[in-house]
Every structure is written in structure tokens, then in C-alpha cells.
Chains A and B, each alone.
Chain A
């Protein structure tokens, strides 16, 4: 029997609903109802293929969001589950991956650039222009003051050791490539990512 992915979801969700509601004593009519309702919720959502952000098993996931991706519609992620087509995880997720929705919508997700002045006891919200202008200025000041063009032997070394960077090992490969270009063109050598730890 060929089972399409949607069909697979229907079957598995029916199975889950049967066991859950069965325990509560609803019997077969309850499970039929649940089987009918759950797929509706997801068929109304947009489905996006993605990869779990945690470990390097890199399980395939399906993200479901409301909103039809029209220009003025804002998508809202409502559900994340394992991708049954994925050859490694085959639809399963671990205790971390199963709770991905909670990290996407964590109350501690940052929403605005914030700045803490020297000696201050609190952050204040600032604009992107303020933050990026100020950071770029601080970087240039430090680079111009401390850039090492030649070493004691007179060899051209062109390195900058007084400002460093840690790169994000959950960011995309494309992000990391662009980050490399920017950091190294400045001559940065104090440069690592989580692979060092």
C-alpha cells in the first residue's frame, strides 16, 4: 500500500488519538472524531520543511503556521513535528525537539536591540541604527588603534587581536560564510565557534 505523507499523518494522528482518548474512556466514537478533527487543523496551516536546531542528528521537522503568506499576512507558527519522510529521524523527535515550539515562542525571545551604558544598572531599548552605528564606530576605533600591520621582524601580518568574535553553530552555513568574510577582512584572529568547546 502506498501511503502519502498526508495520509501517513492522518493514520498516525488517528492512532495517537485512539490511544489517548481510549484511556479517557471515550471509546471508538471519540477516536473517530479526533481523527477527523486533527488533520483539519493542520491542513489549514502552511507547512514548511526545516531542521531541528539542536543536535547534529539534524532531524527533519515540519513547521505548521497560520497565515497564507500573502504580503500583509504575518505567519504564526502553531505546531512543529518530526518529518516522516526524513531518512534519519523518520518522523520521531526527542524530548528537546518535541518542544521546539516553546523555544520559538519563548517569553525570553529578544524583540528589540538593547543597550547598556558603562556603569548602568539596566538595559534600554535602542534603534538598530543606534546600535550598529555605535558598534561599528567602537570596532573601527579599536582596530585603528591596535591593528598590527607588521611584526617585530618586519613581516606583514595584518592581524587584529584586541577585538574577537564567537560565531554561532546553530546559524546556517551561508550565515557562517558571510560572517567569515566580514571578520577576516577586518584581520580578526581571535575567532572561534562552539566546535572549540
Chain B
């Protein structure tokens, strides 16, 4: 989230598209209701299903799963056509006027540079045309045919209301009503907030779904302002924290990236991370990359990371492919290329696409380790549970270790919420039996491996033997000590330009501005620097005071970066430094500095007349309507059909689905066609359950005891399916047998002239816990991911449905 949960109350229009906050984030959704009641806000909901969020909406529009980009590109077209954009904002704070290289183009569904043999693009032309000094050329009149604004106009021109309706199945009148409400927030003092979740990410065009709305928000001037922003409602209590700390294939803590094979030396690595400003005078904050990187290496390798060994650069693994994501991992596993797998609090048997493949792949491992408070399906994948998990244990040679861990109530530490607050929590009791914390278990494995490498030697032991482990209890490090290590400390006396000591050797740092690239500072996660200072644990702060009751609570816990609550908040004020919305200013220029209720996302004394852009992390200083070469599948979003779709791509029949998506051959062979599987299916969550955990909790198991699918009344009638009757739902990959809930909440859509039925598949059941046994929605879902993130396409695929009998035990 760019903004906070409470800040939603400041919105004039709230759009929930790609999510269902009322059911999935109920206690955050109260701020939507607050906005409606106290601020007269309008709630717009665009969803295939009439959800509980939709039930309190001012306007609800149905949409076919996987067609959001058509809807949003059409919306951009509408805003440009009606000139409903915030002109001063777009001119000063976006790249609308920058010129793009001549080689860039788009034709018949493909951007320039497509190479079929790699299923991807050569992106070298997807960038600005530079002048002699290396700055992007600009045309402030927006007349140049290659300025971003003109290119964008051309790109979205095809998305007329008729075309949008034909692709999405959304009735035109609803669509136009929604466009009009969006347009109203182009006024400088009006804000629209976008709330989204997995309904946008879990598509083969997931990242572009989000980009499309971010572009809308830039055009409307809604980024950085109170009641605005792009608000990803994240799913797990610390999924934000694990992203921040870089527990993802390609990441390091603080969004630094692992080196690749193309970067053999540290200087090669740094060469692509210079982040030279692309416009005169811009901040381009990533220019400090070397400071963050060196300080990180000092945190994890201590004295062994030195200037003369390039700060132990070679001790980091290098990547030969963009990602070793979960889809690739299970492909490798299914092909016998993996021997071991450790699942810490993660249940791939229910969570990963194509459950049959997942089960087969796990059976090829030599060993599987699960660390979990609960008895997961993954840890028992080898056991026969009847139709929901057929297996012959004698044939499975995998060694399985099921390690019991503590849960949230039994440990101290911080969790990062959706709006980037690091909130400390405290232990209330010991875990049951012999269960232990993940810290204790990982430490136990680490010490054993170190001991073996010390005694026996083995493959490249240097990083293992030199890993810093300066904890009071080396067998069970204290979370506070780990938090301090992430915050960072001075390794020598740090002096300012006048020679005055700003931090003594050994002291905790105040923030990342103190980091150095000469080895005199260490910080395990630069964006968290400031969370645990000499003043104590900032994450444990509990002062809920809220200046002007604007929803920031700046002294509650601590937010990264630098305790900033609203990202890009410089954009809440105009070029001269005056708030666009005088009723709800965040920071303003007082003649000598930026002042207000939040920490400026900007140089605190940078004068407005210096024309430094508000998007200080970007080399050009402005928001990107044109994404340059940052996206795998194009600098503008384009509508591509889901990999399983009932419709042709009416815009470019030859390029139907995302041409930059990576699809493994066996996964492609497991795609079904509309002929065999005529109905669109989408997966989702119920308000009574959280993934596959709450079926272990008695109350939740009682509230929603068994697996079911939702089927519209028309289709149910056609298929003779009764309310509560048994059905068999099948995709090309597998079938589930469960109860049918016949509903008015999903209605047939008219897509490209044909009636299209959508089936809803909630995903909470499995074969462990207290609820009744179920198969799991991932039995049906395809193994294909977003072209950028490889997040699986759980939200749009094809199935067939037939009346059936209860599964035989």
C-alpha cells in the first residue's frame, strides 16, 4: 500500500477491482464504510461475482475473469477523450512529455523487439530518446508523435466502450457510469483510491493489471495524496515483511537484487546499478545502491567482507535464469532435477497450481522438510487419503521430516502490515509439546552444517563458515538482536563533513542516510534502518495520536522507509509546494522546508523551484505512464486472453495470450480448450476461512465445513444441478467432486456475442484439519504464471461441470 488503512477514509471514490476487501480484509474494509458515511465517498466494485464488497457498492459492474486490462485501457481512453486528467500533475509529475526511441512500436498484439524463440522481447528500444548529455528529450506541448502522451493515446484508441464490453462482458451503461465517477477525481482536491489483491496478481498479465490502474491514478493525480494511492491489500500477516527482506528467488533484503551470470565481477554488477539521473537535477535515490549493498555484506559477512575482496561479492549465488520461482521449482522437481525441499510455514500441496503435478513432483524428492505449527497436506502428501489424495506410500521413496513450530502467540518479533508498518508483538505462552521457533530450527541446521563443513570440508564452505553470528545465545538468537542487525550500526566513528562524530563505533544507526560504502557501516536491510535505534525499539511504539485525524498515527509502530506513512507524498502538493487539496494537506513548503503530518518523501529542504520530481526513486524523477524496459511484456498494458479462455482475442486473433509468458511444455500440454471445458472458472477465499489454516480451527470448520463451488442459476438449470447437490468439476488437469451452491451472485455474461458462464471455486479445503475432506481448488488450476512475477493464473481458467454423486471413500 502507498497509503494507510485509515487513510482510505479520506477518499472521494473507492474502487475495489481485483479484490474483495469486505470478505478478505474485513477490519480494513471498515475504513471504506467510514469514507462512505463520513466523507460521502462512492464505492465502485468491478468483479465477476456479486461479493459482499459489491453488496455495499454504489455501482457494481460484472466483468469476465482475466479481462481487467481491456476495462482499464478503455478507462484511460475515456479519460483522455474527455480530457478528464489533472493536467498540472500529469505535466509536472509524469513522463507524459518525454520522447521515446524511434524503434519502439506496437503492431498486431506485439511490441517491437519480439523474439519468438525466447518467448520474449529484446527491450532495447523501449526507452527514452536521449540528448547529448544523456538526458531524456521532452516535448512539453505533447505534440511530438513520439512523446509518451501521444503514444499512450494511440495505444488505447482501440479500446472503445463497445470493444471493452465485447471483451469484458460488462454492460456498457455500467462501464460508462464507472468511467464518469473516475473522471470526477481528476479535480486537484478529489481523490480516488484503488484497493486490490490477488484478483489482479493471479493472472498471466497480473503485473500489467496493476500497472494499468497505476497509470489511471497518475493521470488523475491520485498518487501521493490523502485518500489516494495504489493499495495492494496483502494476504498474510508478514508477506510484506518477507518481500521486504527479499525471501524471493531474485531478491536480497531491501529490494537489492542478486547478481546474475552476466555480472561476473562486483564492478560489472554495479555498472547496471548506477541509476544516473535521466533528467537534469533529479534525485534518483538508487544512486546510493553501493552504500546499501556494502553495508548489507558487512552485516552478513562482517570482517570477512573487505574492499580487497569486493565485499565478498562472489559469496552471493548468481542467477542464470530470471527466476527460480515456484512454477520452475516444481517443473525441475517433476523432472528429477531437485533432491531436497524445505517448506517453512507453506503448504504447496494446496497452494500451488496443478495439484496432481505438485504431488508427483514431491514424490520425486529424496527428502522433504516441513516446518509448521499445523499438520499440513504437504507433509502428508505420500499418504493415501482416498479420492482427495490417492497415493501408494510404498512406491514413494521420499524421506519426510515434519517439524513442529511455534505460532504467532508464542514468539516475539515484528510483522510488516500491508501499509509497511513494522509492528512488534510479544510472546504470550510457550509452544505445545516439543514445538520450537523457526529461529531455533534454522539455527540448529546452520550450526550442524557449519560444524560438518569445518570438520569435513566440502563444496565452497567460505560463505557458510564466515556468516556473522554475533548473538548472545548463538543457539537461539534473540529477535531484538536480529532487528538491530537489520537496522544497522556504525562499525567506526562516523563523521559529518565538518568532522563532527554523528555516530560512535558500535552505535545503532538513526536511518539509512548514515550508510556508507567504505565498510564503516553495517545494515542487514537498509529500508528498515531506523526501526531499532539508540532510542530503542521503534516498532514497539504504541502512541495512536493522529494529527488532524487524517489517518496516519505516525507514532504507532514504525513504517519503512524512515517512518514515512504515505509514499510519494511530495506529489500531494503542486509544483510550488502548496497542497492540491487544502483540506487534507500532507506536506507543504513553508518557504524554507517541507512541513506537515508525514515524513517528506523528498529532500526536506529541497526548494520547489529546483523542480526535483516527486518520484525520487525513479531516475527521471516522475511517474511512468510508459514503463521503459521495466516490464517483460510491454511498456504499456495490453489485453491478452487468459491461457485458458472461451474467447478469441478480438483485438489481435494471432496473438491471443501473453506472448512474453513462460510456459513449460508439459504445462502447455495440460491446457484445456473451450470445446471440452466450456465454462470460465475463478478461485477465491471465503470470509470464514484463511487459506488452509482455519480448517484446523473448530469454529471456522463449523462455519464453512465443506468444499463447494458456486454456480449461477441459469447454468444450474441447464445442467440439472440442484441447490446443495453433488457436482463434478473438471479441468484438463484434474477433477473435484463437491457440493454445488446455486447462486444469483454470478450471472452469465455476454462475451463477444456469446453467453459465458463463470463458476466460482473457493479454495479452503484439504485432507487435514477439522473440516470435511476436500480436494482443493488447485486440483483444477493451470501451471502458468505472470510474465513478470510468475504468479500463477488462479483467477481465470476453463472447466466443465456435471451433476455427480458423493465421492466414494
- Enumerate chain A interface residues (CB-CB to B < 8 A): 46, 48-60, 63, 65, 67, 74-77, 80, 82, 85-90, 92-100, 102-104, 106-121, 123, 128, 131-140, 142-144, 146-147, 149, 151, 153, 155-182, 184-197
Docked CA distance A146–B458 (Å): 11
Return the chain A residue nearest B314 by Cβ. Answer: A156
- Known contacts A85-B542, A174-B414: A109-B233 contact under CB 8 Å: no
> Considering residues B5, B425, B544, B769, which has the most beta carbons from chain A within 10 angstroms of its beta carbon?
B425
- Known contacts A177-B485, A182-B446, A192-B326: A165-B342 contact under CB 8 Å: yes
> Considering residues A103, A119, A131, A151, which has the most beta carbons from chain B within 10 angstroms of its beta carbon?
A103
12 contacts across the A-B interface (CB closer than 8 A):
A49-B426, A50-B425, A56-B237, A109-B435, A111-B404, A111-B432, A135-B445, A138-B340, A157-B318, A179-B344, A190-B338, A194-B236
- Known contacts A95-B688, A113-B401, A193-B247: A128-B428 contact under CB 8 Å: no
Instruction: Give the interface segment out of B26-34, B85-93, B595-603.
Output: B26-34
Q: Count A/B pairs, Cβ under 8 Å.
A: 483
- Known contacts A117-B399, A149-B460: A50-B428 contact under CB 8 Å: yes
Residues of the A chain whose Cβ atoms lie less than 8 Å from the Cβ of B24: 55
Tell me whether B756 is interfacial, beta carbon within 8 Å: no
> Considering residues A54, A56, A193, which has the most beta carbons from chain B within 10 angstroms of its beta carbon?
A56
Return the chain A residue nearest B697 by Cβ. Answer: A102
Tell me whether B770 is interfacial, beta carbon within 8 Å: yes
Give residues of chain B (680-715) contacting chain A, Cβ–Cβ below 8 Å: 687-690, 693-694, 696-700, 703
Residues of the A chain whose Cβ atoms lie less than 8 Å from the Cβ of B699: 98-99, 102
Docked CA distance A54–B23 (Å): 13
Docked CA distance A136–B408 (Å): 26
Docked CA distance A50–B408 (Å): 8
Tell me whether B667 is interfacial, beta carbon within 8 Å: no
Give residues of chain B (714-753) contacting chain A, Cβ–Cβ below 8 Å: none
- Known contacts A121-B393, A157-B318, A187-B460: A50-B409 contact under CB 8 Å: yes
Given contacts A87-B6, A196-B789, 5 further A-B contacts (CB under 8 A): A99-B697, A108-B696, A113-B404, A176-B245, A182-B442
Docked CA distance A153–B260 (Å): 13
* B375:A110 contact, CB within 8 angstroms: yes
Q: How far is the CB of B536 from chain A (nearest CB, A)?
A: 16
Docked CA distance A111–B466 (Å): 34
Give residues of chain B (410-468) contacting chain A, Cβ–Cβ below 8 Å: 411-418, 421-423, 425-430, 432-439, 441-446, 448-449, 452-453, 456, 458-460, 463-464, 467-468
Residues of the B chain whose Cβ atoms lie less than 8 Å from the Cβ of A63: 409, 428-429
The residue from A99, A176, A197 contacting B247, defined by CB atoms under 8 A apart: A176
* A110:B344 contact, CB within 8 angstroms: no
* A57:B438 contact, CB within 8 angstroms: no
Docked CA distance A110–B442 (Å): 18
Tell me whether B244 is interfacial, beta carbon within 8 Å: yes
Residues of the B chain whose Cβ atoms lie less than 8 Å from the Cβ of A74: 429-430
Return the chain B residue nearest A140 by Cβ. Answer: B452
* B25:A57 contact, CB within 8 angstroms: yes
* A106:B697 contact, CB within 8 angstroms: yes
Residues of the B chain whose Cβ atoms lie less than 8 Å from the Cβ of A164: 324, 329, 338, 340-342
Instruction: Give the interface segment out of B37-45, B117-125, B364-372.
Output: B364-372
Residues of the B chain whose Cβ atoms lie less than 8 Å from the Cβ of A114: 401-402
* B329:A56 contact, CB within 8 angstroms: no
* B397:A195 contact, CB within 8 angstroms: no
Return the chain B residue nearest A197 by Cβ. Answer: B351
* B694:A173 contact, CB within 8 angstroms: no
Residues 28-67 of B, flagged 1 when their CB comes within 8 A of A and 0 if not, give 1010000000000000000000000000000000000000
* B407:A191 contact, CB within 8 angstroms: no
Return the chain B residue nearest A50 by Cβ. Answer: B425
Instruction: Give the interface segment out of B126-134, B475-483, B631-639.
Output: B475-483
Docked CA distance A109–B429 (Å): 14
* A180:B434 contact, CB within 8 angstroms: no
